[in-house]
Amino acid sequence: MEKVKSTKKATPPVRDYLLEGLLALVPDYKSGYKSTVITKKKSYSDKRSVNWLAQIIARYHCLDYSLMMKQGKHLLGLRHNISLAYTARLVLIPVKLKVAKSQNELATGYISLKEIEDIVTMPAGSEKKGPSWLSKIIFKNGKQLLTLNSKKTVQERMHHGQRVLFDFQLRNRSSDHSKALKPGELLKNTEGCDCPLYEIYLSKNTFEIIMDTLLNRETNLAGYSPKTRQLLEYLRSASGDN
């Protein structure tokens, strides 16, 4: 792992890590810190734990971390080492990156699935001192990170990440605003809805409603629900006051 740049500045907010392009969250217990955050630009010592940073990232994306973990456990049939999909571009997979020296230390960090270029098996006996590194992750920007998982295990975690991503995309397909919204499809699923804005939005004569109904007091409101008539009458009054 590349040398962490020492700094006396305050720990950057998670948003800055994401904007720089998050590569990895690494457990790193030294000098009062609990993790090292690696981005495409730099590496940062952070006093927050890897798990806490993962939760903050979920909060940043307005996601429920506990629900993400529960969904992942159910999907993968696992109790631990759960991949996390925050967006279509940010999926974090768990990888062992440190030898824990106590029960209070974490050994597993997270790697950004979409940033992995290759995984290389470390030759036996390549380490002179320290942990027995089993594989090396090469990121798309050229940075490298040693792991304590075999290449096969990392590939398996990548497969888990792909499954979690597919599930994420499947559940969020309905919120894809790139697809045109057809009123006919909405009507099938909103039978009995009496929301005032529902009738206005789905009306075939939307612009006529705005120009005639809202500004012309003589327009007949018969046929609209009481809530819709009440809203339109209010907007007429407000329009007239202005």
Domain enclosing residue 78, as ranges = 14-175
- Say yes or no: 23 and 136 in one domain: yes
- Say yes or no: 42 and 155 in one domain: yes
pLDDT at position 116: 96
- Say yes or no: 64 and 154 in one domain: yes
- Say yes or no: 142 and 66 in one domain: yes
Q: What percent of the chain has pLDDT over 70?
A: 69
What's the whole-number mean pLDDT along residues 171-189? 55
Confidence (pTM) = 0.68
- Say yes or no: 78 and 156 in one domain: yes
Final residue belonging to a domain, choices 150, 175, 200: 175
What's the whole-number mean pLDDT along residues 172-180? 56
Q: How many C-alpha atoms does 169 have within 13 Å on its Cβ side?
A: 10
> What is the number of domains present in the chain?
2
Q: Which residue has the higher pLDDT, 128 or 229?
A: 229
Task: Annotate 129-159 with b (16+ C-beta within 10 A) or e (fewer).
Answer: eeeeebbbbebeeebebbbbbebebbeebbe
Flag whether pLDDT at 135 surpasses 60. yes
- Say yes or no: 85 and 20 in one domain: yes
Q: How far apart are CA 200 and CA 194, in angstroms?
A: 11
Q: Among candidates 174, 231, 177, which has minimal Cα distance to 199? A: 231
Q: Among candidates 111, 177, 182, 117, which has minimal Cα distance to 148? A: 111
- Say yes or no: 57 and 133 in one domain: yes
Please say whether the beta carbons of 209 and 200 come within 8 A: yes
Q: Are strands 84-85 and 91-96 parallel, antiparallel or unpaired?
A: antiparallel
- Say yes or no: 135 and 55 in one domain: yes
Please say whether the beta carbons of 151 and 135 come within 8 A: yes
- Say yes or no: 160 and 83 in one domain: yes
Q: Among candidates 208, 206, 207, 228, which has minimal Cα distance to 219? A: 208
pLDDT at position 183: 47
Final residue belonging to a domain, choices 127, 142, 175: 175
pLDDT in tens, 106-117: 899 999 999 999
Provide the H-helix boundaries in 93-182: 151-171
Final residue belonging to a domain, choices 153, 175, 197: 175
DSSP string of 186-206? HHHH-TT---HHHHHHH-TTH
pLDDT at position 20: 95
- Say yes or no: 187 and 110 in one domain: no
pLDDT at position 127: 60
- Say yes or no: 141 and 219 in one domain: no
